[in-house]
Every structure is written in structure tokens, then in C-alpha cells.
Amino acid sequence: MQLKEPAIGYVLLAAVAGALGYIVRQQNAKEAIVWTEVLVRGASAGFVGLLVYWLCAYMKLDSNITGITVGVFGWIGATATMEVLRKIVFNRIGEK
């Protein structure tokens, strides 16, 4: 099933969530915010947001659940999201 909304909205959601997640974690740790890191984290979260969007479309999830899923994975960041996606993909193709 194809989701009705274009992927760009989900990518932007994930990118903003990734950047905000980094900023909040830095503030909670009382560490300096490095703005180049904000950009890198946002861009990488946007990339994994696209992958999560495609996974949600494959799983035939509706747009509300897709948005929540993309936003949460964007917030936790690209590294953690890629680990989850790696497990899902490897399980799907029969790898360990």
C-alpha cells in the first residue's frame, strides 16, 4: 500500500526530530550545543526517516502511525534507528 502523503514531509519531520532530540539531550547533560552536529544529526535522522517511511508503507500502516513512528525514530537518532532497522531487515531476509 502506498501512503497518500509524499515522503518529504516525513523526512522533514524526522530531520527536525533528530535535531531537537540532540539539542535536548545536550541541554539535559548540560553540555554545549555544537551547531554543525545539529545539522549532521538532523540530516542523518532525515535519511533514516525516509527508510522508516518506506518500512511503514511496506507494512501498510496508516499515515498517523507512520508519522508517530518516523518522529520517534528521528528523535532517538540515526545510529539507534539503523540498529533497529538492521535487525528488522536481517530478520526479514533470514540473516542473523
pLDDT exceeds cutoff 70 at 23 = yes
Domain extents for the chain?
Answer: 7-91
- Look at residue 1 and tell me whether its pLDDT is greater than 60: no
Q: Let me know: does 75 contact 25? Beta carbons within 8 Å.
A: no
* DSSP character at residue 68: H
| pLDDT at residue 2, rounded to an integer | 60
Collapse the DSSP code of 73 into the 3-class scheme (helix H, G, I; strand E, B; otherwise coil) and give the result. Answer: helix
pLDDT digits (tens, 9 = 90+) for 53-81: 999 999 999 999 999 999 999 999 999 99
Rounded to the nearest 10°, the torsion over CA 27, 29, 30, 34 is -60
